[in-house]
Structure 1
Amino acid sequence: MRPPDAVNKKSEHPVQAPHSAQERLLPANLRWDDLNAFLTVTEIGSLRSAATMLNVSVNTVRARIARLEGSMNEVLLERSPDGVRPTAAGRRMGDLAKSMRGATMDALSHEAGYELRRPGEIRIGASEAIGSGWLTPRLLDLQQQFPELTVSLMCDYDVHSERSADLDIGLLFTLPRNPELVVSKLATLHFMPFASRGYIEQHGVPKSLDDLRNHRFIEQVAPGVNSSLLDHLIGSDRPVGFLPIRTNSSLALFWAVASGAGIAFMPTYVMGITRKLIPIDLPAQLRFDLYYYYHPEARHSPPVMAGVSWLRSVFDPDRYPWFRNDFVHPSEFNPSTHASGNVVRLFEPLIGDDLI
Structure 2
Amino acid sequence: MDWDKLRIFHAVADAGSLTHAGDVLHLSQSAVSRQIRALEDSLDTTLFHRHARGLILTEQGELLFDATQSMTKRLDAASARIRDSEEEVFGNLRVTTTIGFGSIWLAPRLPKLYANYPDISLDLMLEERVLDLPMREADVAIRMKEPSQADLVRKRLMDIRMQLYATPQYLQTNGTPTSAHDLGNHRLICQQVGATQVSAGATLVRELMTYDIGRTLTVNNYFGVLQSVLSDLGIGVLPDYLQQDFPNLIRVLPGVQSNDVPVFLAFPEELRGSRRIEAFRDFVVDEVVAYRKAQQGAAAS
Fold similarity call, TM over 0.5: yes
Q: Percent identity?
A: 23
1:127-206 pair list within 5 angstroms: 127-158=98-129, 161-164=130-133, 165-206=136-177
- Whether the 8 Å CA contact 2:225–2:237 is kept in 1: the answer is no
1:299 aligns with 2:272: yes
The residue aligned with 1:270 is 242
Q: Distance in 1 between matches of 2:162 and 2:221?
A: 16
The residue aligned with 2:251 is 279
Q: Distance in 2 between matches of 1:333 and 1:247?
A: 34
Q: Distance in 2 between matches of 1:107 and 1:231?
A: 47
Distance of aligned partners of 1:248 and 1:192 in 2 relative to their CA distance in 1, 3 Å threshold = same
Q: Distance in 2 between matches of 1:198 and 1:188?
A: 30
1:311 aligns with 2:284: yes
Q: Distance in 1 between matches of 2:298 and 2:156?
A: 26
Give the TM-score taking structure 1 as reference length.
Answer: 0.54
- Whether the 8 Å CA contact 1:321–1:333 is kept in 2: the answer is no
Give the TM-score taking structure 2 as reference length.
Answer: 0.63
Distance of aligned partners of 1:253 and 1:285 in 2 relative to their CA distance in 1, 3 Å threshold = same
1:335-354 pair list within 5 angstroms: none
User: Residues 97-154 of structure 1, C-alpha deviation per residue, up to 9 Å, x if partnerless?
Assistant: xxxxxxxxx99931789xxxxx931111111111111111221322343333311111
- Whether the 8 Å CA contact 1:108–1:302 is kept in 2: the answer is no
- Whether the 8 Å CA contact 1:199–1:262 is kept in 2: the answer is yes
How far apart are 1:179 and its partner, in Å? Answer: 1.5
5+ unaligned residues in a row in structure 2: which ranges?
1-77
- Aligned residues: CA RMSD: 2.8
The residue aligned with 1:341 is none
Q: Give the count of matched residue pairs.
A: 213
Larger radius of gyration: 2
5+ unaligned residues in a row in structure 1: which ranges?
1-105, 114-118, 323-327, 335-356
1:260 aligns with 2:266: no
1:240-255 pair list within 5 angstroms: 240=214, 242-243=215-216, 245-255=217-227
Question: Equivalent of 2:206, from 217, 227, 231?
Answer: 231
Question: Equivalent of 1:218, from 176, 183, 189?
Answer: 189
Where does structure 1 differ by over 6 angstroms across 4 or more consecutive aligned residues? none
Task: Determine helix, strand or coil for the equivalent of 2:265.
Answer: strand
How far apart are 1:174 and its partner, in Å? Answer: 1.4
How far apart are 1:228 and its partner, in Å? Answer: 5.1
Structure holding more strand per residue: 2
